[in-house]
Amino acid sequence: MLKTERCEHVPDEQATPQTANCPRCGSSHSLRVCSTCGYVACCESQYGHDREHWKQTGHPVIRPYPLTERGWAWCYACGKYL
């Protein structure tokens, strides 16, 4: 289970990843998954499709993909790791 510092943006249920690569660019490494809807996208060090998803949907919390027990989370709205 993902352990995070609580912030008002963390959904009660963590969404299941929708795919295994970024649908925008096809990347399969350094991916992030949206905690709200499960959208998988490449990180800021690539094309930043994870940030674009947040701007388009308002879903601020992401986790690294593939998911791990000791993974981290980031909240775009708070601008911090959780």
pLDDT of 4 above 50: no
| Model confidence pLDDT, tens digit, residues 45-68 | 999 999 999 999 999 999 999 988
- What CATH number is associated with residue 63? 3.30.40.10
Q: Can you give the residue range of the structural domain that contains 80?
A: 1-82
| Of 70, 1, 65, residue with least CA distance to 32 | 65
Average pLDDT over residues 28-53: 96
Please count the structural domains in the chain: 1
pLDDT number for residue 5: 54
The candidate with the shortest Cα–Cα distance to 74, out of 65, 63, 8, 66, is: 63
Average pLDDT, the chain: 92
Distance of CA 64 to the CA centre of its chain: 6
Instruction: Quickly state the pLDDT bin for 33 (edges 50, 70, 90).
Output: very high
User: What is the rounded distance in angstroms from the CA atom of residue 23 to the CA atom of residue 78?
Assistant: 26
